Copies of this chain bind each other. A is one copy, B any other.
Amino acid sequence: MITLSSDFGSPYPAAMKGVVLQRTDARLVDVSHTFPRQDVRAAAFWLREILPYFPPATHLVVVDPGVGTDRAAIAVEAGEHVLVGPDNGVLLPAARELAGAADDADAEAATSAEADAIRVHEIGYEDAASSTFHGRDVFAPAAAAVHESWAADRTVPDAVDGLGAVTPTDEFVDLELPEPAIEGDAVRCEVLVVDDFGNAITNVPGYVLESLDEVRVDGRAVPAVETFAEVPEGQWLATVGSHGNVELDVNRGRGDEAFGVEAGDSVRLEL
């Protein structure tokens, strides 16, 4: 199974699928092709939340503001999964989560163990066909080749036909999603992404809302609820989303508009 993620909209992902299907019979599953344009961090967040729900798979990811520069292409081994994409950090949070999930099955996973459990390989592409559409000309053939090898025996191949050599590396661009900061009784947090519903998803872990009836968001009192249905239509609220983080919403409305926030904005949460 190969999952596909990008910020390409339509119809460019179809060219990637054609290239992949020239090289493998694997099942293809779209994660999303409408990730926010060139927003590496938003994509990294969504992939970390969603990919762990999949059975062992190859994950092809192309959110790549550096296309055409000399940034590397990489494959990352992570537990029973392998990820293929640009070396800009977009794969790392999901890879750590997938590697940790694999560890969890055996024993207590420590953060360092998780970090150890991922293995990064650089994929040479000096023979690639274009410098403008690496999704089609680099990452798609690379993902197909990696998938064939990974599905066979959980190895990454030594080379990708038509691209170049694949070599283990310790040098790669890392990415950590930001952590909230304690400020006295309050938490200085950040809106990581806004979803299609308009929910503003923060980086605050959900447990902080436990046993609270209300929080203050940038000074404004907001009910803390378990489900949207607890408040009237149009009422704003704070709740724990399906990803386990605090999110700022409106029942049957758009939280981002009501709270006046967008991805990347800082918010002060008084508990």
Contact B10 A32 (CB under 8 A): yes
Mask for A24-54, Cβ within 8 A of B = 1, else 0?
0000111111110110000000100111111
Q: How large is the interface on A (under 10, 10 to 19, 20 to 34, 35 or more residues)?
A: 35 or more
- Whether B21 pairs with A55 at a CB distance below 8 angstroms is yes
Task: For A240, list chain B residues within 8 Å (CB).
Answer: 132
Distance in angstroms between the alpha carbons of A15 and B136 in the assembled complex: 25
Q: Which of A17, A19, A67 has the most CB of B within 10 A?
A: A17
Q: Give A130's nearest chain B residue, CB to CB.
A: B242
Docked Cα-Cα span, A118 to B15, in Å, equals 22
A contacts, CB < 8 Å to B: 1, 3, 5, 8-12, 14-15, 17-19, 21-22, 28-35, 37-38, 46, 49-55, 65-69, 130-133, 136-137, 195-197, 226-230, 239-242, 252
19 CB contacts below 8 A, A to B, read: A5-B11, A9-B196, A10-B34, A11-B32, A14-B50, A15-B53, A15-B242, A17-B54, A18-B53, A22-B54, A37-B252, A65-B252, A68-B226, A68-B227, A68-B228, A68-B230, A69-B227, A131-B227, A133-B242
